[in-house]
Amino acid sequence: MRTVSEWYNSTFSSTAVFNHREDERIFRTRFKRTWFYIFLAVNVLVFIASSLGFGANEYHYFILNLILVNLVAVIGLNLLVGFTGLLSLGHAAFMGVGAYTSALLITEAGFPLVISMIIAGLVAAMAGLIVGIPSLRIKGFYLMVATLAFQMVIDYGVIHWESLTRGVRGIELPTPDFFGLALKEQKSYFVFLFAVTIVMMWGAKNLTRSKIGRAFVAIRDNDISAEIIGIPIFPYKLLAFSVSAFYAGVAGALFASLMRTAIPEDYHMMNSIMLLAMVIIGGMGRLTGSIFGVIFMTMVPVLLDNFFSYLSIVYDPNITIMLGPAKEFVYGGLIVLFIIFEPEGMFAIWMRIRDYFRIWPLPYISE
Amino acid sequence: MNMTEHDTLLDIKNLTLSFGARKVLDNISLSVPRGAIYSIIGPNGAGKTSLINCINMHYKPDSCDMMFDGIQLKGIYPHKVAALGIARTFQKVELFHGMTVLDNIKLGRHFLMKFSFLGSFFRLPNIVKDEMKHRQEIEEEILDFMGLSSFRYSPVGALPFGVRKRVDMARALAMKPKLLLLDEIMAGMAMEEKEDIASYIMDVQRDLGVTIIWIEHDLSAVMDLSDRVCVLNFGNKITEGLPEEVQKHPQVIEAYLGTQEVK
């Protein structure tokens, strides 16, 4: 029998690494791995409780689904903006390409969601390849303007190409399915989304710790020396664009199935800016940061909404009319404050908290 | 060192480079013997770094005939030149500041590693195996050799200048080069650091058998270590030869000290 302290030590304090492969794991220490399993277990418990009628309801799961869908798109955008250093203002358009592709495949050809989602990603990746071509000659803000042009084209296209997209009425989608198994409730769709998000997150993390991800960062940090040490710049830029667009396309397909409709205003330029804001607030070039950024940007408007409707019940029903615009101000203000006081994003805050607790009870004994 | 005429690694004939109307390099010809330390010296603005940039094909020369190990370099893209076995360090350190020392050095191995998008995405066994093989070699041959083991996980942006220069050299060595171009690697270093670098240069030449083209302003180090020295001034080659011959050459003395005016 192991004692409690032995168990505690081997679970939470062991940081030993015995070979290079262990050294490059995602959760390098037992401590991190344990917390990840705890996180999964909590998810399962919440799900079971919710099926029995306690705790999280359908609305809560809808918000969680929204977070997961945005997360897939933001991981992709972070690979492009944060890792490769190429700005894009056309990411909602890539989502739109994915959403409409998937919607058409499901309604017209009866594809299952998983297949249509992958095809949607590939179609968006092709679009990304084309949008990435100007990056041969231009970078920075000029490239951003080029992606903006793509956004404009898609904005116009989805409204006016009525024979394909049905214009402003949009395409209605049936209940999402997993190879015939209907995901009717929000929480069953959540299970599917959760699995997809974990795979996409894991894939992105794998890319960043392989030669491909290192080449992306090399192009961001110093493209001239990157080329001189043997990295072909342009193919890698195109790869970054198409991978990023693939993520956006998959996210678009998932979003359309979540909303049960594909309509033009969901993929408008404003959404591109929101996605970019999520990357910046989370922390550029940090996948963990993206999780925080997405949660922050999705939850703040929801919480403000709930707060104001609470106020209207407690004090005065008219308060919502008065404070309606205030919501936007608070939201915008929070974003501005974040960028002023924490330009490196929420990831920097997370790092500080982690460093504090790493040496926690005895801070004067440094490493 | 005993070198024969026909064993040349890099043979440059009639290299001319101009920026607009200004001729930066004028009809330079030189041949670098295999296994030698070949130094290029000259006053500021002589065109030394431009010459190295031409060998990298980072600058496109107006006309040239550059044979490297039997391959014509003219018209090849810079990243292909790297794959042929030409590595370099930079005058101002051009590392990737957001990455760790280990990742910087791994990037030197970029073109030697297997490429597979799905392999990287799903971290398939053959890709991981390949990556670990390179990591092992880097750990054993390069980090140890350059004394960088303790900086492995430090972000490069946080390191002192001398260490960054060593990382720059380590990254170049990771490319398994046949020819290493060192661009003022000793600039801005203290005496002790210079001695360290000198011993690295000698080890690289002797133990790894790498040919070195070395640009440097510290003439005493150049004269001690080099097998051959080439002197440039205003884009022209003044002379080339053994260190002791070059030191006595009248035009070299003139380029460094100026002419004596007799009144």
Q: Who wins on pLDDT, A170 or B175?
A: B175
Contact B35, B205 (CB under 8 A): yes
Interface residue of A198, A211, A241 to substitute, partner B, most B CBs within 10 Å: A211
Residues in A touching B103 (Cβ below 8 Å):
214, 217
Nearest to A229 among B108, B115, B131 (CB): B108
**Architecture of the CATH domain B1-85+177-263:** 3-Layer(aba) Sandwich (3.40)
DSSP labels for B171-214?
Answer: HHHHT--SEEEEESTTTT--HHHHHHHHHHHHHHHHHS--EEEE
| pLDDT score of B250 more than 80 | yes
Residues in B touching A221 (Cβ below 8 Å):
95-99
Cross-chain residue pair A232–B97, CB shorter than 8 Å: no
Number of domains into which chain A is organized: 1
Quote the CA–CA distance of B261 and A217 in Å, as a whole number: 56
Nearest to B88 among A212, A218, A228 (CB): A228
Tokens coding A2? 């192991």
Residues in A touching B56 (Cβ below 8 Å):
228
Cross-chain residue pair A203–B121, CB shorter than 8 Å: yes
Distances (CA, A) of B190 to A208, B88, B186, B197: 37, 22, 9, 11
The ipTM of this complex is: 0.90
CA distance B89 to chain A (A): 9
**Residue B56 in contact with partner chain A when CB distance is under 8 A:** yes
Contact A179, B81 (CB under 8 A): no
Which phi and psi angles does A304 have, rounded to 5°?
A: -60, -40
Q: State the pairing for strand pair B22-33/B8-19.
A: antiparallel
Nearest to B110 among A21, A231, A239 (CB): A231
Cross-chain residue pair A206–B108, CB shorter than 8 Å: no
Quote the CA–CA distance of B20 and B30 in Å, as a whole number: 24
Q: Residue B190: which region, alpha, beta or left (left: phi > 0; alpha: psi -120 to 50)? A: beta
- Domain with residue A265: its CATH number is 1.10.3470
Write the burial class of residue B60 (CB in 10 Å: 0-12 exposed, 13-18 middle, 19+ buried): exposed
- Low-confidence winner among A32-36, A266-270, B6-10, B36-40 (lowest mean pLDDT): B6-10
Contact B56, B245 (CB under 8 A): no
Quote the CA–CA distance of B197 and B117 in Å, as a whole number: 38
Cross-chain residue pair A218–B96, CB shorter than 8 Å: yes
Cross-chain residue pair A227–B58, CB shorter than 8 Å: yes
Instruction: Give the chain A residue nearest B136 (alpha carbons).
Output: A20
In a domain, residue A73? The reply is: yes
CA distance B156 to chain A (A): 11
Domain definitions of chain B by residue range: 1-85+177-263, 97-174
At A16, which amino acid appears? A
In a domain, residue A4? The reply is: no
The label of the residue with tokens 């999705």 reads A298
In a domain, residue A231? The reply is: yes
Cross-chain residue pair A203–B110, CB shorter than 8 Å: no
- Interface subset of B 90-119, CB within 8 angstroms of A: 90, 94-99, 103, 106-111, 113, 115, 117, 119
Instruction: Give the chain A residue nearest B169 (alpha carbons).
Output: A229
Residues in A touching B135 (Cβ below 8 Å):
20, 24
- Say what the pLDDT of residue A321 is: 75
Distances (CA, A) of B254 to A162, B221, B257, B259: 80, 20, 5, 5
**Residue B129 in contact with partner chain A when CB distance is under 8 A:** no
B135 C-beta neighbours (distance < 10 Å), count = 20
pLDDT per residue as tens, chain A (367 positions): 667 777 766 666 666 777 888 888 888 888 888 889 999 999 999 999 988 888 888 889 999 999 999 999 999 999 999 999 999 999 999 999 999 999 999 998 888 899 999 999 999 999 999 999 988 888 888 898 999 999 999 989 988 888 888 887 888 888 888 887 888 888 889 999 999 999 999 999 999 999 999 999 999 999 899 999 999 999 999 999 999 999 999 999 999 999 988 888 889 888 999 999 999 989 888 999 999 999 998 998 888 888 888 888 888 777 777 777 777 888 888 888 888 888 888 888 888 888 888 777 776 665 4
Residues in A touching B83 (Cβ below 8 Å):
230
What does DSSP assign to residue B141? I
Residues in A touching B88 (Cβ below 8 Å):
228
Going A146 to A151 to A156 to A162, the CA torsion angle's sign is positive
Q: What is the 3-state secondary structure (H, E, C) of chain A?
A: CCCHHHHHHHHHHCCCCCCHHHHCCCCCCHHHHHHHHHHHHHHHHHHHHHHCCCCCCHHHHHHHHHHHHHHHHHHHHHHHHHHCCCCCCCHHHHHHHHHHHHHHHHHHHCCCHHHHHHHHHHHHHHHHHHHCHHHHCCCCHHHHHHHHHHHHHHHHHHHHCHHHHCHHHCEECCCCEECCEECCCHHHHHHHHHHHHHHHHHHHHHHHCCHHHHHHHHHHHCHHHHHHCCCCHHHHHHHHHHHHHHHHHHHHHHHHHHHCEECHHHHCHHHHHHHHHHHHHHCCCCHHHHHHHHHHHHHHHHHHHHHHHHHHHHCCCCHHHHHHHHHHHHHHHHHHHHHHHCCCCHHHHHHHHHHHHHCCCCCCCCC
- Say what the pLDDT of residue A232 is: 93
Closest Cα to residue A171, out of A267, A92, A313, A299?
A267
Cross-chain residue pair A229–B106, CB shorter than 8 Å: no
Closest Cα to residue B32, out of B210, B254, B218, B249?
B210
Look at residue B57 and give its three-state secondary structure.
coil
Interface residue of A225, A250, A351 to substitute, partner B, most B CBs within 10 Å: A225
Size of interface A-B (CB pairs under 8 A): 100
Which residues are bridge partners to B15 per DSSP? B28
Quote the CA–CA distance of B29 and A81 in Å, as a whole number: 45
Residues in B touching A211 (Cβ below 8 Å):
106, 109-110, 113, 115, 120, 131
At A320, which amino acid appears? T
A299: containing domain: 57-358
At A342, which amino acid appears? E
Quote the CA–CA distance of A246 and A236 in Å, as a whole number: 15
Which residues are bridge partners to A8 per DSSP? none
Instruction: Give the chain B residue nearest A210 (alpha carbons).
Output: B120
Going B65 to B68 to B71 to B74, the CA torsion angle's sign is negative
Q: Residue B3's pLDDT band (boundaries 50, 70, 90)?
A: very low
Which residues are bridge partners to B100 per DSSP? B155
| pLDDT score of B67 more than 80 | yes
